[in-house]
Chain A
């Protein structure tokens, strides 16, 4: 059974640009969540999707957005990139209300 797949693995962008990250969950998982990890910080919750609906949103500015498609694949978008957006972005998938979430390897975004 394939795990959670995130693409791309690495990205370098310039301030002011926008970026789209992709996440393919484990087959059968319809719940997808996104997290941001910066140095010295834990994983900060960005948003959660279930059946193409955003169910929860973390405390991030409106520049961060996401969506989920009918096949449960999810994308997140960050517009007008800032240096502070440099981070490891992680996607997790789970069965709904499961006690275990499976993470992808993440996308390392560097903003220069």
Chain B
């Protein structure tokens, strides 16, 4: 059972426009959510996180929104740049005394000029 889902395998956006990546989860006990960016053959790089007690967190061009009632979060990138082209993974921190992360299957973002 996939507890964290990213239903869009790919997204193509023009440079300068907004990129919106979506993520759904099923377990209401998750207490933190994270977004990672990954290039091929490299490890994921942490982008931004949000606590389950908040509904928005912003860091430069990146903003994450959390809708707990819908069990949905989204990552907004504004403005999008060609260097943002990568695979983006949504992850949820498992509850109960663990550092285990549960990942979605990723969304490949392509930003074109």
Contacts and interface: CB of A to CB of B under 8 A. Distances in A.
B43 A108 contact: no
B51 interface: yes
Interface in A10-59: 31, 33, 35, 40-45, 48, 50, 55-56
B100 interface: yes
Contacts, number: 72
Contact of A45 (B44, B97, B102, B105): B102
A48 B106 CA distance: 22
B99 A40 contact: no
A64 interface: no
Contacts of B99: 31, 33, 48, 50, 55, 94, 96-98, 101
A42 B23 CA distance: 13
Interface of B: 4, 6, 32, 34, 36, 41-46, 49, 51, 89, 91, 93-94, 97-106
